[in-house]
Structure 1
């Protein structure tokens, strides 16, 4: 139940981030739904294909589709409230990568992958939906910019394994890893910490 709750919360967070980007691009209702859907399930779809978990999760469990539809309707109805928060897109995207990183790590563990591979799977789960969203909306994916994004997922993934070594219940290790991803991303943006560019100023 705890894992399922994390999965649904991640779906909602990414669906909202997709809606916000689509509305900024002034897409129609169908376009908004497609962007929200791709953002919410893109990473999980890639993850399930890589580990051979087919049909992928959203095809087997209709609750994900209904959750996305409900989230899109809610976001459109209350779009003015969401846009009231200047950094709402950033916030929901950050929450989404934190939740989906842990989901990916858990899926990797379930099929017996090594910790490093689990972290890679968690990073892909968290990042790929946003990559598809940005490409479809004609933006450079945030993961390819200098911002701390995938790095936060990687550190949070390894953080889960460190937390799991502590004498605490597994749910706390999950929560700790989620908060670590979110905290790293928030702090990186707050203090303008970024990865170095390969290009030097001319």
Structure 2
């Protein structure tokens, strides 16, 4: 991935997660500065943990543009909410799905750039894509999306597997990116619209003979 692609995806992912944090903060009636805090930790949390684990400079410290995008996205969201106060929680879930899918790709690619194995890269992708939203939900006293019985972490991991498969098939980087994004967003939106659930660890109800 060229530096331009990587920076562009990272900035877009930060913006989407900042918006999702600000929307949930508004939905929970958090005060003005609190919304900024929630939006910021959502946008920056996953990438910060990723960089610490990879022993790399934290991305928003190395490049303050990420802070400008974060605060700008929060400000625009707040202005939008002021004019349309009855914003549905669905929009938060929608932008969160897109942000998660983008950050998943960014985490995978950054790990690969640092020379990790593909399995480590997939783990870094999930860490980047999920951790910021996990902090957001905990702060807002919500059951984290990743802990609910719906496609969230599974959608993230499926997107990562798609990226890995295309990468190993030596597909162009753009195809790897688009394939991963499409799979993650498709599964996540399917969960939102149709209630798709993985049901991997649900206990079976024993049959009672009459």
* Same structural fold, with TM-score higher than 0.5 when normalized by the shorter chain: yes
**Shift of residue 108, structure 1, vs aligned partner:** 1.1
Partner Cα separation in structure 1 for residue 46 and residue 112 of structure 2:
17
Number of residue pairs matched?
Answer: 201
Partner Cα separation in structure 2 for residue 159 and residue 183 of structure 1:
12
The equivalent residue for 2:20 is: 17
* Residue of structure 2 aligned with 1:173, choices 167, 172, 176: 176
TM-score normalised to structure 1 length: 0.92
Whether 2:114 is the aligned partner of 1:101: answer: no
Whether 2:69 is the aligned partner of 1:67: answer: yes
CA contact (8 A) 2:109 2:121 kept: yes
Q: Which structure's CA Rg is the greater one?
A: 2
Alignment of 1:70-149 (within 5 A): 70-79=72-81, 80-81=83-84, 84=87, 87-149=90-152
Partner Cα separation in structure 1 for residue 182 and residue 44 of structure 2:
22
CA contact (8 A) 1:82 1:88 kept: no
Unaligned stretches of 5+ in structure 1?
A: none
Question: Post-superposition, which runs of at least 4 consecutive aligned residues in structure 1 deviate over 6 A?
Answer: none
Unaligned stretches of 5+ in structure 2?
A: 206-210
Deviates more, 1:143-152 or 1:187-196: 187-196
